[in-house]
Amino acid sequence: MKSTVLVGVQWGDEGKGKIIDVLTEGVDVVVRYQGGNNAGHTVEIGSNKYVLHLVPSGIFRPNALCIIGNGVVVDPKALVKEIKELEQSGINFTGRLEVSTRCHLIFKYHSLMDGLRDKNQKIGTTKRGIGPAYADKAARRGIRALEMLDLKRFEERFRNEVDFYNKIFSSHDAELIDANAEWKELADAAIFLKPYITDTVLTINKMAKAKKNILFEGAQGMLLDVDYGTYPFVTSSNTTSGGACTGSGLSPKYIDSVVGVMKAYCTRVGEGPFPTELFGDEGEKLRASGREYGATTGRPRRCGWFDAVSARYSCMINGIDKLAITKLDVLDGYKTLKICNAYNVNGKIVSDMPSDTADIAVAVPVYEEYPGWDTPTSEACSFSDLPENAKKYLQKIAALVESDIGIISVGPNRRQTFVVN
Ligand code: GDP
Ligand code: IMO
Ligand code: MG
């Protein structure tokens, strides 16, 4: 049995969906354990491109059971839409998906609240209602998936919450929720989702005891973790490997390894400090060649050089056993590449990630330069196929983040991936 947690090492969008899809070939169960439909995980198989938001990226492997664990916040209408769209493209969900009874639900009032709060304190959220739904969970007023199993109870709880939120919205002169219209759609969603809602804690533990291979699919990235990220410019869940246990109900004693996915450079969507960010033509060049536009919101991603300070910190907290380094091909053709291995914070050189986001905001990256390569890497099938300078660059970033390379990705397609021994 092998239970593996896969996490994003940077600010999300590292290519987790692609790597999950590749790794699920021999996996029995794929589990999402945090986040919600703020995630956008892209999987490209042949000429087909899919973007998953709530459904685990293992859904394209017919033998893998997909689980949405208790730590995930679920927008019922968004989940129904995603399942229906995948069904239309030929994916069979029968017996393939389980949704935890304990998942907290996201409603329209959460998304509206998200927009309202973001006006006052600009985080640049996805406006999917993630923060407000986790806030309700912590405030002990959230509505859970199990409540959808009893429509009468569900309706009563939902209408009560709408009354509560409408009072807030009216005090801000904001749009009010039409409870009747919303309820109609929610009741349909609850009926549709009923067969999928089950106690997934039992399923996961049964699978672990039966020595099945379990893969945990992290969403977002470590630097967006609510405890360890660039707070308050973070998401509202624990995106770190530790979150896999609390978000699924599986004891840490069953976790065998942690895979960290990181880009060969850096990107970030939304607000918040990003020391190695490139602006103007330099930023645009990376954005264009990496096709760096959000898979969920379509927003242009901020792009920059590889930041070993934040990635080293991330690998330490996650306990990365193997790195999956993606988007190496995007760096093809650069004469020189820069890597940041220290920050200058108000005149002081630091190589550890500051805990004060204000320090990260003023940090000036201290760069080391490395020669680039001209030969395209996108057709490489093994480490030895890569240009010498690409090998050196990869070895350098792995050494700086104190982790070993396990997988290299040289293009968006499933086949453009190889294992490094
Ligand atoms: P995730 O949220 O971590 O799953 O990542 P996203 O799907 O949001 O963003 C990653 C993007 O990069 C997607 O468009 C992928 O198809 C693409 N991608 C993944 N790996 C590679 C790679 O090695 N090279 C290139 N050029 N694109 C990649
Ligand atoms: P995947 O799983 C990149 C960012 C948002 C915003 C902050 C808070 O595809 O890597 P939220 O809506 O979560 O409250 O927004 O987090 N963010 C992501 N950035 N990839 C993601 O997911 C993200 N999910 C949230 O842009 O800055
Ligand atoms: Mg994404």
Residues of the chain with pLDDT under 50: none
Note if the bond before 232 is cis, omega within 30 degrees.
yes
Q: For 318-373, how does the pLDDT look when each residue is reduced to its tens digit (9 = 90+)?
A: 999 999 999 999 999 999 999 999 999 999 999 999 999 999 999 999 999 999 99
Instruction: Please report the pLDDT score of residue 59 as a whole number.
Output: 96
Q: What domains appear along the chain, each with residue ranges and CATH number?
A: 3-101+197-258 (3.40.440.10), 105-193 (1.10.300.10), 262-419 (3.90.170.10)
Structure tokens at 336: 């020189």
Catalytic residue among 41, 53, 104, 110: 41
Ligand 2, residues 6, 37, 38, 223: which to mutate, most atoms within 8 A of Cβ?
Answer: 38
Stated pTM of the model: 0.97
Please check whether residue 118 is in contact with residue 171, taking contact to mean a CB–CB distance below 8 angstroms.
no
Q: pLDDT of 163-181, one tens digit each?
A: 999 999 999 999 999 999 9
Q: Which residues line ligand 2 (CB under 6 A)?
A: 8, 11-13, 38-41, 123-126, 128, 130-131, 219-221, 224, 235-236, 269-270, 295
pLDDT of amino acid 26: 87
For residue 409, which atom of ligand 1 is closest to its CA? 23
At 25 the pLDDT is 87
Residue nearest to atom 13 of ligand 2 (CA): 235
Q: Give me the pLDDT at residue 19, please.
A: 96
Between CA 265 and CA 312 the distance in angstroms is 14
Question: Residue 295: what pLDDT?
Answer: 85
- How far is it, in rounded angstroms, from Cα 5 to Cα 330? 26
Pocket probe for ligand 1: among 19, 42, 222, the residue whose CB has the most ligand atoms within 8 Å is 42
Q: What is the pLDDT, as a whole number, of residue 388?
A: 98
Q: What is the pLDDT of residue 198?
A: 98
Read off the pLDDT of residues 116-147 as tens digits, 9 standing for 90 and up: 998 888 999 999 999 999 999 999 999 999 99
C-alpha pair distances (Å), 356 with each of 21, 289, 353, 361, 401: 36, 33, 9, 9, 21
pLDDT at 15: 97
CA 127 to ligand 2: nearest atom: 12
CA angle 10/407/310 to nearest 5° reads 20
Q: Are 48 and 72 in contact (CB under 8 A)?
A: no
41 a catalytic residue: yes
Query: Does residue 13 carry a catalytic annotation?
Result: yes
